[in-house]
Structure 1
Amino acid sequence: MQSIIDWIVGLMETLGAPGVGIAILLENLFPPIPSEVVLPLAGFTVAQGTLNMWAVFIWSVVGSVAGAYALYGIGVWLGLERLRKVADWMWLVRASDVDAAMRFFTKYGRSSVFFGRLIPGVRSLISIPAGLGKMNLLTFGLWTTLGSGIWNAVLIYLGYVLGDNWEKATGYADTYSNVIYGVLVLIILAFLVYFIRRAVTDREEEVLVPPESE
């Protein structure tokens, strides 16, 4: 972690506020670079008088949106047909599950993108189903900007008000993240149980219904 902090500090010293944007762009694409460290550290730097608050905020949002569009492009490239083929190949999952997920995203896409940007572990990944569903680019950008703006502003402000104790902001974010991860694990387990029970039921039906004789 210290090496990441040193790299971020060097980036901000060299490029200023745009360095924060670059760090956040990379954070979207490479999760080992956590926004929970980048943004409070940027806020602390603002408190030191080295950077401007508005410039840091704006560049951080630009980095978030740019990274989100890159992942959106991956979703478009992957495509629904390719994903359906992958689902058919995978154990427990069907192509129809992909269709069901996309119907849900089509119905709740805007709120999914907005709230997804506030959920650790989902913040970046939510852009991929938006690309799969070819969500309107302007709509995607708007809701990504709003969600990212809230997340970034909170962490930058915490780093600013905490000053030398900016690392406490990372601790607060980690606590929030752990709660979210716990909920996500429960949701994943619930889906896994559902898929397993469905597979068992299908297997039992295959045994009870003999194949038609020629």
Structure 2
Amino acid sequence: MADWVQNLMDSMGYVGILLLMILENIFPPIPSELIMPSAGFAASRGDLNLPLVILVGTAGSVLGTLPLYYLGRAFGEEKLVAWADKYGKWLTLSGKDIRKADDWFDRHGTKAVLFGRLVPGIRSLLSLPAGMSEMPMAKFLIYSSIGSAVWASILAGAGYLLGENYDRVEQYVGPASKVILAVVVVAAVVWFVRRKKAQGQG
């Protein structure tokens, strides 16, 4: 995949970075941990400009969040609550749980979006609850842009400094993203099991 990413950037330049970062948010198997360091490496060779690389990478990352945001917005809290009340019993999930989660996101959503954009593995997924909780578009874009800019700067800067060894960034960050996803899945399973036990005792 590294060769494909590099070839796309060599042939399309900034447009390639933009498209790849949009796709990265929709199809996580294309990792930003590979795209942006590769772009940073291209900048270190003098083929691209580092500030423009970061700007275009940030723009692509933010644009890539919009499909999931609008999907969450279209699905909406009320539809999800109705679904949970009707079909959520096998997941020990109720409409009340959905409303609690939505209330939490209303209180902490800006921090979740801002810092979540810096966390591999879940950075793309946060767009769904943001849309479901109807976070105002302007606020969502502002915090997504800040978090994405920091993330793009770190990755592109690392690629710029590492030069031909830019792929080491993905080697370190890639396993970390898998660990984070595993922790999220385990936490969800533990939550479901505890709820099931609580309901059985109730």
Q: Normalized against structure 1, the TM-score is what? A: 0.87
Aligned residue identity for 1:149? A
Distance apart, 1:173 and its partner CA: 1.0
Query: What CA distance in whole angstroms lies between the structure 1 residues aligned with 2:64 and 2:38?
Result: 20
Number of aligned pairs? 199
Distance apart, 1:21 and its partner CA: 1.3
Q: Is the 8 A contact 1:12 1:20 kept in 2?
A: yes
5+ long unaligned stretches in structure 2: none
Q: Of 40, 58, 73, which residue of structure 2 is paired with 1:43?
A: 40
2:76 matches 1:79: yes
Query: In structure 2, the residue corresponding to 1:188 is in which secondary structure?
Result: helix
2:180 matches 1:180: yes
Q: Is the 8 A contact 1:117 1:148 kept in 2?
A: yes
Correspondence 1:189-200 to 2 at 5 A: 189-200=189-200
5+ long unaligned stretches in structure 1: 203-214
| Alignment partner, residue 15 of structure 1 | 12
* Structure with max Cα Rg: 1
Query: What CA distance in whole angstroms lies between the structure 1 residues aligned with 2:189 and 2:133?
Result: 25
Distance apart, 1:85 and its partner CA: 2.7
Distance apart, 1:178 and its partner CA: 4.3
| Alignment partner, residue 120 of structure 1 | 120
| Alignment partner, residue 55 of structure 1 | 52
| Alignment partner, residue 30 of structure 1 | 27
Deviates more, 1:78-87 or 1:148-157: 78-87
Query: In structure 1, the residue corresponding to 2:93 is in which secondary structure?
Result: coil
Query: In structure 2, the residue corresponding to 1:50 is in which secondary structure?
Result: coil
Query: What CA distance in whole angstroms lies between the structure 1 residues aligned with 2:40 and 2:27?
Result: 21
| Alignment partner, residue 140 of structure 1 | 140
CA RMSD of aligned residues (A): 1.6
Q: Is the 8 A contact 1:18 1:56 kept in 2?
A: no
Q: Is the 8 A contact 1:155 1:169 kept in 2?
A: yes
Deviates more, 1:179-188 or 1:157-166: 179-188
Query: What CA distance in whole angstroms lies between the structure 2 residues aligned with 1:35 and 1:72?
Result: 19
Deviates more, 1:184-193 or 1:40-49: 184-193
| Alignment partner, residue 159 of structure 1 | 159
Distance apart, 1:100 and its partner CA: 0.4
Q: Which consecutive aligned stretches of 4+ in structure 1 deviate over 3 angstroms post-superposition?
A: none
Distance apart, 1:58 and its partner CA: 0.6
Q: Is the 8 A contact 1:43 1:157 kept in 2?
A: yes
Query: In structure 2, the residue corresponding to 1:23 is in which secondary structure?
Result: helix
Query: In structure 2, the residue corresponding to 1:171 is in which secondary structure?
Result: helix
| Alignment partner, residue 3 of structure 2 | 6
Q: Is the 8 A contact 1:17 1:52 kept in 2?
A: no
